[in-house]
Every structure is written in structure tokens, then in C-alpha cells.
């Protein structure tokens, strides 16, 4: 995820977790997997 700073990603994950914990965690895992 080039150009996207960590704090922005954290806010995005938190936003999704507020809506749905499962989705937020899945997105976080997906992004983390894509970064490596």
C-alpha cells in the first residue's frame, strides 16, 4: 500500500471494526498480507 501512512490504515481498520469486528479483522489481515 504505497503512499498510505500507517495512521490512516489504522483509522480505516478501526472504522470497519466499529461497523463489523469480523470484517475489520479480515481487512487488517488482508492488508498486512499484501504488504509483505
Is 15 inside any structural domain? yes
Is 30 inside any structural domain? yes
Is 24 inside any structural domain? yes
- If pLDDT is split at 50, 70 and 90, which confidence band does 31 have? confident
Is 1 inside any structural domain? no
Distance in angstroms between the alpha carbons of the first and the last residue of the chain: 10
Considering the chain, what percentage of its residues have pLDDT values greater than 70?
89
Range of the domain at 23: 6-35
Is 20 inside any structural domain? yes
> Residues 23-28: what's their mean pLDDT?
90
pTM: 0.59
> Residues 7-33: what's their mean pLDDT?
90
Nearest Cα residue to 11 out of 2, 34, 31: 31
Q: Are 34 and 24 in contact (CB under 8 A)?
A: no
> Residues 5-34: what's their mean pLDDT?
89
Q: Report the domain count for the chain.
A: 1
- If pLDDT is split at 50, 70 and 90, which confidence band does 6 have? confident
Amino acid at each position: 500500500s504505497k503512499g498510505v501512512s500507517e495512521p490512516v490504515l489504522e483509522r480505516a481498520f478501526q472504522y470497519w471494526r466499529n461497523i463489523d469486528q469480523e470484517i475489520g479483522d479480515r481487512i487488517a489481515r488482508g492488508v498486512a498480507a499484501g504488504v509483505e
